[in-house]
């Protein structure tokens, strides 16, 4: 049973057996997908699949056909044929083939006999943007943990990894021109353990070199995932200000922040600060070929600008109404900078308040009002309401739930999420909704194990909301999930059990 649910699936006669005699052939345009599949299946069959013409019985064949790029048709009988519109479709077809195998196919050891019942699948995604935000700023995740998360996203046919690389509590991307961003900004002396003010007394930190991130980008690309970097501006920047005090509004130096919640320390609006972050973006663009770059724009308190003579001078010079408009102007310095380089800015829904550049994509997180307003104003939208798809929120009401953050957001709640806001239904503006994005914010998630627990299996429910048809069938999903959890078990994902957390979680 396949997760996310495909458009159409039927049984067919025959059985395919995957073993050491299986061969694999692919159109040249699909050779990278074939190489990936070879790599995944080698430990399962105990050796590399043989090359072959692909037409004999016992063969797997990947062929290009007249289909949209992400669509595929999978036929399983004596042999397997995946017809796809392009590499993405072939990759999704191959992922589906793996799901048709017994769960043992997800172990890195031979687990035969691996029989696939005769099946025909026709499939294509509902939305083009099927994303997940991974916050590596509040708690650092090792490169290997990020790569593993990419594999888990790919298993669920998600295609955008939004990497939240910078925040008050840590700067995680090497910038060669400004080494203190990571020398100073990547480390904090301790962390708040929850919302009660207690501190853990343990230093925390880490960052990715540019080479690490190039590797992450290439690894993701091979799995049809675009890595979209976020450099959050002008709020959420205390780590950068700690490294380079001239970026801030105060005369007193700051430390990398150790507590959570919205911070008051924001960037100043000097020319030198704009130049600094344009230089930062220059390096970011070299690492990430993504057509999109997230510039943040969220949660920027205006107190320091109200008290800053320089900010007030800017407002007067530019004839702006207030600090909101000043933020709009500030964001446009970077939005235009990206546009000149052929990239598109993504901003959190707050950027609507200051007048975003026309081509900006809006990520609507404070419920769905931003999504509705942005789409009606002609902006493309990624819907990511914290009320439906924030995986830092607790998964059940129980006292033993380990991360007491936000309201309760159950697996069933996530499954019920509809990416097109009800208010936009039937309006032409609905076409601006590119898709949706779930989020793993990590203030209170301090390890890869906790990421597993918080993200799964809710991410499987989310995947159905962006990939599958809009008809929801909860009992059907829960039945399919039962089998899917065996795959996660085989991979070693420590997801949340339906009965609640395990004692150590
Ligand atoms: C709001 S999503 C934030 C994040 C927090 C998250 C916690 C967004 C644009 N801002 O900085 O981590 O809530 O749920």
State the ipTM, two decimals. Answer: 0.98
Domain boundaries in the chain? Answer: 8-123, 132-259+360-491
Distance of CA 362 to the CA centre of its chain: 15
Closest ligand 1 atom to residue 262 Cα is 11
**Mean pLDDT in residue range 29-39:** 97
DSSP 54: S
pLDDT band at 407 (very low <50, low <70, confident <90, very high): confident
Ligand 1 neighbourhood includes 391 CB (under 6 angstroms): no
Contacts 24+ apart (CB under 8 A), 400-409: 400/500, 400/501, 401/500, 401/501, 402/450, 402/453, 402/501, 402/505, 403/444, 403/445, 403/450, 403/454, 404/194, 404/195, 404/444, 405/443, 405/444, 409/458
How much is the pLDDT for 269? 98
Catalytic residue positions, numbered: 167, 236, 299
How many C-alpha atoms does 354 have within 13 Å on its Cβ side? 28
Does ligand 1 lie within 6 Å of residue 390's CB atom? yes
Tell me: cis bond preceding 381? Omega within 30 of 0 counts: no
- Which residue puts its alpha carbon closest to atom 12 of ligand 1? 441
Centroid of ligand 1 to alpha carbon of 441 (angstroms): 7
**What's the 329 CA to ligand 1 centre distance in angstroms?**
23
> pLDDT tens digit string along 80-107?
999 999 999 999 999 999 999 999 999 9
- Residue 503: pLDDT over 80: no
With a 6 Å cutoff on the Cβ, whether 323 touches ligand 1 is no
Out of 3.30.565.10, 3.20.20.80, 3.40.50.300, 1.10.3720.10, select the CATH number for domain 132-259+360-491: 3.20.20.80
Looking at the CA of residue 298, tell me the nearest atom of ligand 1. Answer: 9
d(CA 504, CA 36): 35
**Confidence at residue 57, expressed as pLDDT on a 0 to 100 scale:** 87
Cβ burial, residue 270 (10 Å; 0-12/13-18/19+):
middle
In the predicted structure, residue 404 carries a pLDDT above the cut 70: no
CB 295 within 8 A of CB 331: yes
Q: At what angle do helices 474-491 and 458-467 cross, to 10 degrees?
A: 120
Separation of 298 CA from ligand 1 center, angstroms? 8
**129 C-beta closer than 6 A to ligand 1:** no
pLDDT in tens, 37-92: 999 999 999 999 999 888 888 899 999 999 999 999 999 999 999 999 999 999 99
pLDDT in tens, 327-365: 999 999 999 999 999 999 999 999 999 999 989 999 999
Q: Which atom of ligand 1 is nearest to the CA of 135?
A: 12
Is the minimum distance from the CB of 299 to ligand 1 under 6 angstroms? yes
Work out which ligand 1 atom sits closest to the CA atom of 133. 2
- Ligand 1 centroid–CA 295 distance in Å is 14
- Ligand 1 pocket, 168 CB below 6 A? no
260 CB less than 6 Å from ligand 1? Answer: no
Q: What angle do CA 207, 164, 434 make, to 5 degrees?
A: 150
* Over residues 499-503, mean pLDDT: 86
* CATH number of this structure's domain 8-123: 3.30.379.10
Q: What is the DSSP letter of 192?
A: B
At residue 52, the pLDDT reads: 84
- pLDDT of 402 reads 75
Q: How far is the CA of 72 from the centre of ligand 1 (A)?
A: 36
Indicate the helix (H) or strand (E) that contains 458.
helix 458-467
pTM for this structure? Answer: 0.98
**Residue bearing the CA closest to ligand 1, atom 2:** 365
DSSP label of 256 = P
Read off the pLDDT band of 189 (50, 70, 90).
Answer: very high
Tell me the per-residue pLDDT of 229-269, one tens digit each, with 9 for 90 and over: 999 999 999 999 999 999 999 999 999 999 999 999 999 99
pLDDT tens across 113-166, in order? 799 999 999 999 999 999 999 999 999 999 999 999 999 999 999 999 999 999
- For residue 288 and ligand 1, the question of a CB distance below 6 A is answered with no
Q: Which DSSP helix (H) or strand (E) runs through 170? A: strand 170-171
Judge if the beta carbon of residue 72 lies within 6 A of ligand 1: no
Q: Is 423 in the pocket of ligand 1 (CB under 6 A)?
A: no
442 C-alpha to center of ligand 1: Å? 9
CA of 466 to the centre of ligand 1 (A): 21
Which atom of ligand 1 is the closest one to the Cα of 232?
Answer: 9
Residue with CA closest to ligand 1 atom 9: 298
Q: Which helix (H) or strand (E) holds 57?
A: none
Say if ligand 1 is within 6 A of residue 187 CB.
no
Per-residue pLDDT tens for 10-20? 999 999 999 98
Q: Where are the alpha helices (DSSP H) in 319-385?
A: 323-340, 369-376
In this model, does residue 393 exceed pLDDT 80?
Answer: yes
* 386 CA closest ligand 1 atom index: 14
Residues 88, 71: Cα–Cα separation, whole Å:
8
Q: Is 365 in the pocket of ligand 1 (CB under 6 A)?
A: yes
Q: What is the signed CA dihedral for 481, 485, 491, 497, rounded to 10 degrees?
A: 130
Q: Find out whether 228 and 199 touch, Cβ atoms under 8 Å.
A: no
Judged on CB neighbours under 10 Å (0-12, 13-18, 19+), 145 is: middle
- Atom index in ligand 1 nearest the CA of residue 236 equals 11
Q: Whose CA is nearest to atom 4 of ligand 1?
A: 441
Mutate to test the pocket of ligand 1, among 194, 299, 407, 440 (most ligand atoms within 8 A of CB): 299
pLDDT band, residue 196 (cuts 50/70/90): confident
Compute, in angstroms, the gap from residue 170 CA to the centroid of ligand 1: 15
**φ, ψ of residue 8 in degrees (nearest 5):** -155, 140
Q: Coil, strand or helix: which one is 334?
A: helix
Instruction: Please report the atom of ligand 1 found closest to the CA of residue 392.
Output: 14
Q: Is the CB of 348 under 6 A from ligand 1?
A: yes
**Joined tokens for residue 399:** 């006292």
Instruction: Determine the residue of 237, 371, 386, 395 to mutate for testing ligand 1's pocket, defined as the one with the most ligand atoms within 8 A of the Cβ atom.
Output: 386
């Amino acid at each position: 049973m396949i997760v996310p649910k495909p458009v159409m699936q039927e049984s067919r006669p025959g059985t395919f057996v995957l073993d050491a005699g299986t061969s694999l052939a692919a159109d040249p345009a699909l050779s990278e997908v074939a190489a990936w599949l070879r790599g995944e299946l080698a430990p399962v069959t105990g050796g590399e699949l043989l090359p072959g013409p692909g037409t004999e019985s016992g063969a797997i064949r990947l062929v290009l056909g007249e289909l949209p790029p992400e669509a595929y048709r999978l036929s399983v009988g004596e042999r397997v044929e995946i017809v796809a519109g392009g590499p993405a479709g072939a990759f999704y077809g191959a992922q589906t083939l793996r799901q048709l195998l017994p769960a043992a196919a997800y172990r890195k050891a031979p687990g035969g006999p691996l029989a696939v019942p005769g099946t025909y699948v026709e499939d294509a995604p509902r939305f083009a943007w099927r994303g997940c935000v991974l916050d590596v700023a509040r708690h650092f995740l090792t490169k290997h943990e990020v790569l593993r998360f990419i594999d888990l996203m790919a298993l669920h046919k998600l295609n955008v990894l939004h990497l939240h690389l910078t925040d008050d509590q840590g700067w995680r991307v090497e910038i060669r021109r400004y080494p203190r961003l990571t020398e100073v900004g990547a480390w904090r002396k301790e962390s708040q353990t929850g919302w009660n003010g207690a501190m853990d007394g343990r230093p925390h930190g880490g960052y990715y070199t540019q080479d690490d991130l190039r590797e992450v980008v290439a690894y993701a690309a091979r799995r049809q995932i675009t890595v979209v970097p976020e450099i959050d501006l002008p709020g959420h920047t205390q780590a950068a200000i700690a490294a380079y005090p001239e970026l801030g509004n105060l005369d007193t130096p700051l430390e990398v922040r150790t507590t959570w919640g919205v911070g008051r320390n924001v960037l100043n609006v000097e020319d030198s600060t704009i130049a600094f972050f344009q230089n930062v973006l220059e390096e970011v663009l070299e690492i990430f070929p993504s057509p999109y770059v997230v510039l943040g724009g969220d949660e920027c308190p205006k107190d320091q600008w109200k008290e800053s003579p320089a900010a007030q001078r800017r407002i007067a010079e530019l004839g702006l109404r207030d600090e909101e408009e000043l933020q709009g102007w500030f964001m446009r310095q970077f939005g235009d900078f990206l546009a000149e380089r052929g990239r598109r800015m993504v901003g959190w829904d707050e950027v609507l308040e200051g007048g975003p550049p026309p081509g900006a994509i809006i990520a609507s997180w404070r419920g769905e009002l931003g999504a509705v307003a942005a789409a009606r104003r002609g902006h493309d939208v990624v819907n990511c309401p914290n009320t439906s798809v924030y995986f830092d929120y607790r998964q059940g009401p129980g006292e033993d739930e380990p991360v007491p953050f936000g309201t309760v957001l159950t697996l069933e709640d996530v499954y019920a999420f509809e990416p097109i806001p009800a208010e936009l239904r039937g309006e032409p503006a609905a076409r601006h909704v590119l898709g949706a994005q779930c989020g793993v914010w990590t203030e209170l998630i301090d390890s890869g194990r906790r990421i597993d627990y918080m993200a799964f299996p809710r991410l499987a429910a989310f995947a159905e909301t962006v990939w599958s048809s809009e008809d929801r069938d909860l009992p059907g999903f829960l039945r399919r999930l039962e089998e899917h959890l065996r795959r996660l078990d085989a991979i070693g994902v420590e997801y949340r059990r339906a009965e609640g957390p395990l004692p150590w979680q």
